[in-house]
Amino acid sequence: MAYVAVKGGTRAIEASLLLWRRERKAQAGRPAALIDQVMAEASLYAPDIAELAVAQADGSPEEAVFLLRAFRSTVPRLHTTRVIDPSDLWVERRISAAFKDIPGGQLLGATSDYSHRLIEFDDERFNEVEAQLAALARNLGPQDGAGTYPKVVDYLRQLDLLPTLLLDTSAPGDVTKKSLEFPAKRSERLQILARGQTGTVTALGYASLRGYGALHPTVGELRVGRLPVTVADPLSDGDPEDDHFLGEIRVTEVEMLVPVELPRGEGRTDLQFDLGYGLCYGRNETKAIAMALLDQVLSAAAEGQGPGGPLADEEFVLLHVDSVEATGFISHLKLPHYVTFQSKLESVRASRKSP
């Protein structure tokens, strides 16, 4: 499926659609995208338990997230994993909207991006998929394309179009262990966005794109794939050879390129690219892109840059994107408010009686 965007694109898209159909068939009705969304919003990578939660919630994402979060509160947190380097991602899909021909090539993987959204009233067409894929496989190996790839942003750094930053090795904050204080650290912002409600993060990301934040951003690279998770052996001297492999997590990673102005003095400005980063559990590309947009706006605002506006107010963004908090507080309005209403009623009457 490696393809160059001009030539061979049609075949790559056809192959991608076939793969996508086959994945859907293999899922056999399992709502994979919903399970991914629920795991991300719950901050708990547990596909089997998330599937149980989705079923128990009759498919309601807010209910399923709620179930999984409550379960998460009962699980002791014994270890912190080794730092996971996303460049180790075992890539199933990677695209760049910035360059046609990126080092390693574009890899569409299975995607519905190019499908027509027509309800399929019969699933007859599933049966054709296998035959077509078999024909395709005669030309391509089944694993063809999957693997690790160089990153587009590294290429831009080589060209000096993106600033090379020092690696920040400070321990990240954990908003589930300590309540958020402002100004928030970037690690905390990213964590809150990564577990934010998909619809809310998308809506705010959209607002940033429409006029309240980063204008004209570009998807530098979007990747979907699997990352290995390891913990250090508590008895070892820290030798990575002694690490324990826990398994893999599937993630979506996005690096957005946002043009920003860089003051050069004497009233002149240079243009440079700024990076927005998005990463969430499972496959949820829209959310990861929106997250990257918001990351860039909030990071710029933290340094006193950017256009301002509601999205640059980190309290406004970070305190309102959580599914459990938002749905819980809104739904509590259904609870009896007899005492509070009685008290207010009395105030209303008192104000009318007063001269």
Partner 1 sequence: MKSLYNYAFFDEGSKREIRRAILKSVCIPGYQTPFASREMPIARGWGTGGLQITLSLIGRADTLKVIDQGADESVNAVSIKKLVRSTTGVTTTDRTAEATLIQSRHRIPEAPLREDQVLVLQVPIPEPLRAIEPSELATKRLHAEADYTGAWLMLFEELQRYGAYTTGSDHPVLVGGRYVMAPSPIPRFDNPKMDHSRALILLGAGREKKIYAVPPFTRVASLAFGDRPFRVEGFEGKACRLCGATGVFLDELPQDGGALYQCNDTGYCLERLNAGTPHA
Partner 2 sequence: MAAFDRVHDVQLAFRGLLRAFTFPGTLVDLAATAERLGSLLPPTPAPAGLLLAAATLIDNETTYWSDQAEVTRFLTEWSASAPSPASASAFLVVATFDDARLAGVLERARTGTLIDPHLGATVLVGVDELDTGSPVTLTGPGLEHPLTCHLPSGERWLAARNARVSEFPLGLDLAFFDARGRVLALPRTTQTRGGT
CA atoms within 13 A on the CB side of 147: 11
Cα angle: 320, vertex 325, 330; to 5 degrees: 90
What is the footprint of partner 1 within residues 302-341 (CB under 8 A)? Answer: 315, 319, 324-325, 327-332, 335-340
Nearer to partner 2, 178 or 352 (CB): 178
304 binds, among partner 1, partner 2, none (CB under 5 to 8 A by kind): none
Instruction: Establish if 7 lies at the interface with partner 2 (CB under 8 A).
Output: no
**H/E segment holding residue 224:** strand 218-231
State the Cα–Cα distance between residues 108 and 88, nearest whole angstrom.
19
Least distance (Å) between residue 175 CB and partner 2: 13
Q: Of partner 2, partner 1, none, which one sits near residue 179, judging by CB under 5 to 8 A according to partner kind?
A: partner 1
Partners of 263 in the beta sheet?
A: 269
* 177 belongs to the binding site for partner 2 (CB under 8 A): yes
Mask 39-68, x = binds partner 1 (CB under 8 A)? Answer: ---------------------------x--
Q: Which does 183 bind (CB under 5 to 8 A by kind): partner 2, partner 1, none?
A: partner 1
* Residue 169 binds partner 1, judged by CB under 8 A: no
Q: How far apart are CA 260 and CA 218, in angstroms?
A: 12
From residue 140, give the alpha-carbon distance in Å to each of 90, 129, 228, 230, 285. 19, 16, 26, 33, 26
Nearest to 16 by CA among 98, 106, 118: 106
Q: Which residues bind partner 1 (CB under 8 A)?
A: 66, 69-70, 72-77, 176-183, 315, 319, 324-325, 327-332, 335-340, 342-348, 350-351, 354-355
